[in-house]
Structures are given as C-alpha cells and as structure tokens.
Amino acid sequence: MATRHFLTLMDLEKAEIHAIIQRAIALKNSPALHEDTLKHKTLAMIFDKASTRTRVAFEVAMTQLGGTSLFLSNADTQLGRGEPLEDTAKVLSRMVDFVTIRTFDHSRLELFAKHSEVPVINALSDDFHPCQLLADMQTYFEHRGDIQGKTVVWVGDGHNMCQSYINAAEQFDFELRIACPEGFEPEPWLLERSRARVRVVRNPIEAVRDAHLVATDVWTSMGHEAERERRLRLFAAYQINAELLSHARSDVLFMHCLPAHRGEEVTAEVLDAPDAVVWDEAENRLHTKKALLEFLSRQ
C-alpha cells in the first residue's frame, strides 16, 4: 500500500480529518487515553525555518505517546552540506517511523515524500500549513461546534496559512472570504478549484460582515523579511482591531496561528482579550499532532 503523507489537508479524506479532530478533543479531555500508542516510534524533524509551537508540539506529542523525536538542524546534518533530499529520505526511512519537515519551497516536501517509505508531515512550507488548520478547526469545534456552513474570513496575506484555509473550506464545508491587498492573493489555481466556497472580498469591513470566524497571520512571513517595510504600508488597512470585528457576528471567534505582532496585523486589545481563543488554538497544536501521528502510524 502506498505510504500516506500529510503535505496538505487534501491528502486526507474528509471523514479521516474529522476523526483526527475528534480524537484530538478526546485526548485533550482524557489523559487516560494516552496508552503509549507510539511506543518505540521515532519522529525525525527537519526544520529549515524557525519554530516554537510546531517543534514543541511534535516533541511533546511523541513523548506523551511513548515515542521519541529527533531534531535535525541543517547545521548538524549532511543535508546542510548538500546531501540530496532523495538520499536523506531513503536513509531516514530505514530508521525512523515518521518525518516532519518545515521548509521554504513546497516542492522540497513533495520530493522528500516521493522517496520516503514513511509518512512525511508538512510542518509549514511557503504554500501550506496544514497542521495549524487541524488546531484551528479543533478550536472552533470546541468553542462553537461544527463549522460546516459557517462564514470564515481570512484577513491579510494570501500566503501559506490562507491557502490552508482554502483547503479547509473544502474539507470542512464552510464559506471562506479572503480580504487581502492587491497582489497578495492566494494562488489562482487554488481559488479556481474552490470557487464554489471561496472568494476574494477586497474590502475588509465588507468581508467580515456576519462572520463566525476571522483569522489572520503575520504580514511578513518567514522568507519575506526584505519586503517588511513595503508590506507594513500595503497591509495597514487589514489590521484586526475591535472596530473591524464589530462588523462581524457578536460571537465571532478570532484566530491567529502565532507568533503575532501586536500593533501590526492585530491590536493588543484583540489578542489579549480575556476571552481570546488564540491560546487554546496554540495548545491544540499539541493535541492535533498526537491524533495525526496516531492516525499515520496506523496506515
């Protein structure tokens, strides 16, 4: 049977993703369910970009399920000295049970997965951040129930997080409006494939009207640092603040994958609100990782 990978949300069936979310909720609520389900399993983690949540969530998830993890930085491995990804994939497949990779070009993940005999998990690429969406969806289900048929609004850069929200709209069956400055839209093919559920609404006030969920992300993602000043100017009208959220439903949830830049894409008032769910969202990175790793270990 072909090895199952998790490079985007579209790699799983709808029923499988929903089962992962439900398992994550169960694991969170019942520590007794942690029965060493990943005993003697090893996760290799290749990170070409910085990370706090994703790295810690993977490491803690493996520990809590009885397995172990290896953090492989470019500074210490032969990858950093030019060993081909294909060879690394073949070698790691002989020793570990899963590999997770955070990198720039999504094609690096696809190349690695093509040569890997063990599941490869996208820990963030320039195109997608599917693990984050598992946590976001768990958080919505916990606070508001099923997201099917709800209105979700992405405000900000049409980059990796936004593109994973497009996939989530398909897999969880919600309407997605995207408010982004001109020139910062998601890939046209993604918009086209999901045109029944997803549309660009340029004006952020119009976009968030009656929204159940509003999500954003940094304006300057990793790899875009040279454009920071220009982006600060172009994205200024897309800040999430109390005034903008007042146009959404009164019970709207706000999500941010973090790290956040208070005063840029979100105000401190919104991020630090007593009822903010962003900290649950961050915690749920751990629970969804556990459910995902368990799922992949059974394939």
CB atoms within 10 A of CB 196: 9
Residue 132 interacting with ligand CP (CB under 6 A) = yes
Q: Which residues contact 118 (CB under 8 A, 6 or more apart)?
A: 3, 92, 93, 96, 97, 98, 99
Cα–Cα distance, 296 to 67 (Å, whole number): 14
Q: How far is the CB of 86 from ligand NVA (least distance, A)?
A: 25
Q: Is 233 assigned a catalytic role?
A: no
Q: Is 52 in the site for ligand CP (CB under 6 A)?
A: yes
Which partner from the list ligand NVA, ligand CP, none does 100 bind, CB cut-off 5 to 8 Å by kind?
none
* Partner from ligand NVA, ligand CP, none binding residue 150, C-beta < 5-8 Å depending on class: none
Contact call for residue 8 and ligand NVA (CB under 6 A):
no
Q: How many CA atoms lie less than 13 Å away from 207 in the CB half-sphere? A: 27
In the residue annotation, 102 being an active-site residue is answered as yes
Which of 54, 163, 164, 239 is close enough to bind ligand CP by CB under 6 A?
54
Judge whether 129 counts as a catalytic residue.
Answer: yes
**According to the binding rule CB under 6 A, does residue 258 interact with ligand CP?**
yes
Sign of the dihedral defined by the CA atoms of residues 75, 78, 83, 89, in that order:
negative
In this structure, the number of other CB atoms found within 10 A of the CB of residue 208 comes to 24
Helices (H), 96-175: 106-114, 130-144, 160-172
Distance, in Å, from the CA atom of 172 to the CA atom of 15, rounded to the nearest integer, reads 10
Peptide bond into 119 cis (omega under 30): no
Q: Residues 284, 287, 290, 296: is their CA dihedral positive or negative?
A: negative
Residue 132 phi/psi, 5° resolution? -65, -35
**Of 33, 3, 28, 6, whose CA–CA distance to 17 is shortest?**
6
Of 89 and 166, the one with the shorter C-beta distance to ligand NVA is 166
Q: Which residue lies nearer to ligand NVA by CB, 92 or 131?
A: 131
Report if residue 257 touches ligand CP, rule: CB under 6 A.
yes
Tell me, yes or no, if 177 is annotated catalytic.
no
218 binds ligand NVA (CB under 6 A): yes
Residue 127: active-site member: no
Q: With CB cut-offs between 5 and 8 Å by kind, which of ligand CP, ligand NVA, none does residue 46 bind? A: none
| Per annotation, catalytic residue among 217, 231, 239, 287 | 217
Q: Which does 221 bind (CB under 5 to 8 A by kind): ligand CP, ligand NVA, none?
A: ligand NVA
218 binds, among ligand NVA, ligand CP, none (CB under 5 to 8 A by kind): ligand NVA
Give the per-residue contact string, 121-140, with ligand NVA (x = CB under 6 A; - = no): ---x----------------
CB of 211 to ligand CP, least distance (A): 21
In degrees, rounded to 5, the angle at the alpha carbon of residue 130 between the alpha carbons of residues 184 and 258 is 70
Where does this chain touch ligand NVA (CB under 6 A) — which range of 214-222, 243-251, 267-275, 281-289? 214-222
Neighbours of 152 (CB within 10 A): 25
Active site residue 261: no
> What distance, in Å, lies between the first and last C-alpha atoms of the chain?
9
Q: Which residues contribute to the site for ligand NVA (CB under 6 A)?
A: 124, 159-161, 217-218, 221-222, 257
Which positions are annotated as active-site residues? 102, 129, 132, 217, 257, 285
